[in-house]
Chain A
Amino acid sequence: MIVAALAFFLLPVIWIALTSFKTQGEVFSYPPVFWPKGIGNFTHYSSIFGGQGGHALKDSLVVASANTALSLLVGVPTAYSFSRFRVGGDHLAFWILSIRMFPPVVSAIPLFLLFRDWGLLDTYWALIIAYLTFNVPFVVWFVKGFFDDLPRDLEEAALVDGANRWQAFAGIALRLAVPGIVTAALLAFVFSWNEFLLALFLTRSEVRTVPVALANFVGGHEILWGQIGALTILAILPVVVLALVLQRYVVRGLTFGAVKG
């Protein structure tokens, strides 16, 4: 039973991986070719890297990294504050949480109009800023959970020894929370990396992230299936590696910390 379930959930991924090695003829053959002749032949990958795919990978990398860095910079101190003090009762914290649940299409239209006025459409900044809407609330809630689990004794001892609150945070709590912060960074990166709707609205030709490039490929005149397979694999590969590494934290991340997993 469990083997059948695993097959159901993994075969599509394996199939697209095999497709990335197929010639156009092999894709179209019926009955379908399972094991392509050119397996291990990375021609589609190299043409992807040389063409729009390489550009898209770079754009996705820039946007996701910059957005992750900014989200941490803004969100981590807030996470600490919510963990240690009752700032604004619970209301403020839950207001921030509810922003994480915003439908992207609702933010997309106003951001499009604003960025048009500011000349930010089709720039890296458009996406780096837009993705703060979901990643800042994510970082705040996810990292807060890690601060909650840390003992306060060390910080309190430091305060008694004359450290100020900032030093207690930056010198002690921040260091102890590094594993949690790294996990948050990786997940925030994945959320940016995967995002499509806002990228579709806010960028066009100068900036094109991987999901947008993939969607364009599908809409093209002659669909190059092998290259689509290759770009799909490039899009999911980093994420799959992270899924395997972070498995304990993924559920916690996707449920806003409601489920510790």
Chain B
Amino acid sequence: MAVSLRNRLTRPRPRRAPLFAWLMVLPTVLVLLAVTVYPLVYSLRESFYRLELTFSPVATWVGFDNYVKAIRHDPRFWHALGRSFYLVVLGVGIELVLGLGLALLISRLGRLRSLVTALMLVPVMIAPVAVATEGIVIFNNSWGPLNYLLDEVGAHGPVWLGDRSVALYTILLADVWQWTPFVAIIMSAGLRTLPEDVYEAARVDGASRWGLFRTMTLPLLQPLIIVTVLLRSMDIFKTFDTVYVMTGGGPGDATETASFYTYLQGLRFFSFGYAAAVSYIQLAIISVVATLLVRRMRKGLG
């Protein structure tokens, strides 16, 4: 009796989920349908209307006009989109290089590693708005500590937030400050899983440090690097909080990102139909990256 029970119990889990399993999932599905899918369908409808809460609070059907306007007649939107992509490319690149370097340093630490990791998590966890308020104090060009330090070493710091050609890089710097530790901690977790004995053997065979890094570490870390790149790309593409607090999109439109422009159209200009259309275009872009990421994760990180 005991034996047969055992057999029954160790059979692989049933392919068909019982009713119970579906009931447990049901609340989540209902909630997510209600708070994401339903609003999206609702605003998809809005995006085909001209809906301006100030001038024409009664919506009029305009078909694809909002999309045509965004794609063909709104250079300001394209510039904002371009800036978001620019931030993604630079930000991901810088954070990955610095993060990897930092991970190599962290992995050589002994007992201090967990303390250093914990301290590094501080920027990662705090609100981007708090990062931004730190930023406006530190980057202030008349009394901020950063330009004072630069003065002391004989460099002349720029007007970090007020110069059209600099402000976007200041936003970038805030992101790099907040998220490089995140990349570093992921990478150092990855470094710990690498096979020590293979490295030992390669070192005995006279492989150089840089050679080892290029031919072994990087390829072994590749799955992790890809996931990190995708995660960071999605996040940087959505950059909003730091822009809102540190520059308000300015000077001029120098730091207007796609998210910030959508906010302007919605909450400042009250063109909700147009804002909806513009946000759908961003959703389409994010979906491409999200699909790649999900596909990666389904395969597992091995």
Contact = CB atoms under 8 A, between A and B. Distances in A.
A87 B29 CA distance: 12
20 contacts: A6-B116, A16-B130, A32-B143, A75-B28, A101-B293, A105-B279, A111-B35, A114-B38, A132-B32, A140-B28, A156-B9, A165-B18, A211-B241, A232-B133, A235-B126, A244-B121, A250-B124, A251-B182, A254-B124, A259-B224
Interface in A91-111: 92, 94, 96-99, 101-111
A42 interface: no
B42 A113 contact: yes
A250 B186 CA distance: 10
Is chain A's interface secondary structure helix, strand, loop, or mixed overall?
helix
A90 B267 CA distance: 38
A251 B118 contact: no
B186 A99 contact: no
Contact of B286 (A102, A112, A240, A247): A102
A197 B102 contact: no
A240 B126 contact: yes
A183 interface: no
Interface in B248-277: 248, 259, 262-263, 266-267, 272, 275-276
Contacts of B25: 77-78, 81-82, 87-88, 92
Which of A15, A85, A130, A190 lies at the interface centre, i.e. has the most chain B CB atoms within 10 A of its CB?
A: A85
A133 interface: yes
Interface of A: 1-2, 5-6, 8-10, 12-13, 15-16, 19, 27-32, 73-75, 77-78, 80-82, 84-88, 90, 92, 94, 96-99, 101-114, 129-130, 132-133, 136-137, 140, 156, 160, 165-166, 169, 190, 193-197, 200-201, 210-211, 214-215, 217-219, 225, 228-229, 231-232, 235-236, 239-240, 242-244, 247, 250-251, 254-256, 258-261
A90 B17 CA distance: 12
Nearest to A117: B42
Contact of B267 (A10, A137, A201, A258): A201
A1 B13 CA distance: 51
Contact of A215 (B125, B129, B280): B129
B301 A197 contact: no
A194 B126 contact: yes
A106 B18 contact: no
A90 B298 contact: yes
B297 A97 contact: yes
Contacts of B244: 196, 200, 215
A92 B190 CA distance: 29
B294 A105 contact: no
A200 B127 contact: no
Contact of A9 (B31, B120, B189): B120
Given A105-B263, A251-B186, A211 B181 contact: no
Contacts of A211: 127, 129-130, 241
Contact residue range for chain B?
35 or more
A244 B31 CA distance: 32
Nearest to B144: A32
B142 A81 contact: no
Given A215-B245, A243-B124, A261-B185, A84 B39 contact: no
A144 B226 CA distance: 23
Given A239-B126, A239-B127, A13 B181 contact: no
A231 B134 CA distance: 11
A200 B135 CA distance: 20
Nearest to B37: A99
A81 B40 CA distance: 27
Interface string B218-237: 00000010011001001001
Contacts of B128: 194, 196
B97 interface: no
Contacts of A107: 35-36, 39-40
B119 interface: yes
Contacts of B129: 194, 196, 211, 214-215, 235
B282 interface: yes
A15 B149 CA distance: 13
Nearest to B28: A78
Given A81-B17, A194-B129, 18 more contacts: A32-B148, A85-B17, A90-B298, A94-B294, A101-B234, A101-B286, A101-B293, A103-B279, A107-B39, A109-B266, A133-B32, A165-B20, A196-B128, A232-B134, A240-B122, A243-B122, A243-B124, A259-B227
Contact of B125 (A99, A111, A239): A239
Interface in B17-61: 17-18, 20-22, 24-25, 27-29, 31-32, 35-36, 38-40, 42-43, 46
A254 B120 CA distance: 14
A61 to B, nearest CB: 14
B180 to A, nearest CB: 8
B123 interface: yes
Contacts of B275: 109
